[in-house]
């Protein structure tokens, strides 16, 4: 696989390291003041986009102009551009796997959280909440992963309908989900979903020790795209994880 990694931040470096562990030599392009020229993407099998939200659209336009038709996008804060990017990919016969977090463990966690929210939602005494902690320098809050976990809670819960508004004093309304973000130190990421009742508290927690799991998932997404022809447009990482889980079960691991 000839991979080009856009973004030389922590995630871009982790993806490049994951590729090198497989004996491949990715090209890592940093964050230019505008965008990368189409020629930078010549002969690329896949482009890994891990730069910044405002650069996703121009970078994919340049990648398409340079001839690349396979993309893995893990950058956050570009949702406003998603319809335009989806149309561009379809127009050029290109495909992309998109996720706010490429950790297979986070993806499975999201599925567990959705199921737990539905079950605990039937028990009014159990109040859900969400806590996430990242390094001091992380720009977005809540994180993209926290937003996705929160979405799954709201989707499954019969009462909670929106995130609590932290700008107001007092407790959250009955239909609000309490979401707390901590930005301190150098933690690569911790997400905790809890259901608290007067007599007990149940917690589902994922703590990242480093970014290797995220990188593993991004590379697995690239492999999935290259393994068979895929429908042009945007694909969810869920499909990649579905295949990974099926392989594990087929191998006797449950």
Query: Active-site positions?
Result: 134, 138
- Residues in a beta bridge with 49: 6, 73
- Say which residue the tokens 């993209």 belong to: 144
Query: Which residues, 6+ apart, have CB-to-CB distance to 82 below 8 Å?
Result: 98, 234
Quick one: tokens of 52?
């910044």
C-alpha to C-alpha distances, 27 to 7, 16, 173, 213, nearest whole angstrom: 11, 8, 49, 20
Residue given tokens 């030599």 in the structure block: 25
Bridge partners of 134? 183
């Amino acid at each position: 696989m000839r991979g080009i990694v856009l973004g030389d931040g922590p995630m871009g470096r982790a993806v490049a390291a994951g590729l090198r562990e497989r004996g491949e030599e990715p090209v890592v392009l940093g964050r230019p003041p505008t965008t990368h020229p189409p020629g930078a993407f010549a002969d690329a099998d896949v482009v890994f986009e891990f730069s910044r939200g405002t650069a996703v659209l121009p970078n994919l336009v340049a990648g398409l102009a340079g001839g690349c038709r396979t993309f893995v996008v893990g950058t956050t804060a570009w949702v406003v551009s998603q319809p335009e990017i989806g149309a561009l990919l379809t127009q050029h016969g290109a495909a992309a796997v998109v996720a706010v977090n490429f950790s297979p463990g986070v993806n499975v966690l999201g599925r567990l959280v959705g199921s737990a929210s539905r079950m605990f939602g039937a028990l009014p005494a159990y109040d859900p909440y969400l806590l996430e902690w990242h390094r001091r320098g992380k720009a977005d809050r809540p994180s993209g992963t926290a937003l996705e976990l929160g979405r799954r809670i709201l989707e499954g819960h019969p009462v909670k309908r929106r995130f609590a508004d932290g700008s107001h004093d007092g407790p959250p309304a009955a239909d609000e989900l309490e979401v707390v973000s901590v930005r301190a130190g150098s933690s690569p990421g911790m997400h905790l979903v809890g259901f608290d009742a007067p007599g007990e508290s149940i917690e589902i927690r994922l703590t990242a020790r480093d970014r290797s799991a995220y990188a593993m998932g991004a590379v697995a997404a690239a492999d999935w795209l290259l393994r068979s022809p895929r429908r042009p447009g945007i694909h969810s990482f869920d499909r990649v994880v579905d295949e990974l889980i099926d392989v594990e079960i087929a191998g006797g691991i449950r």
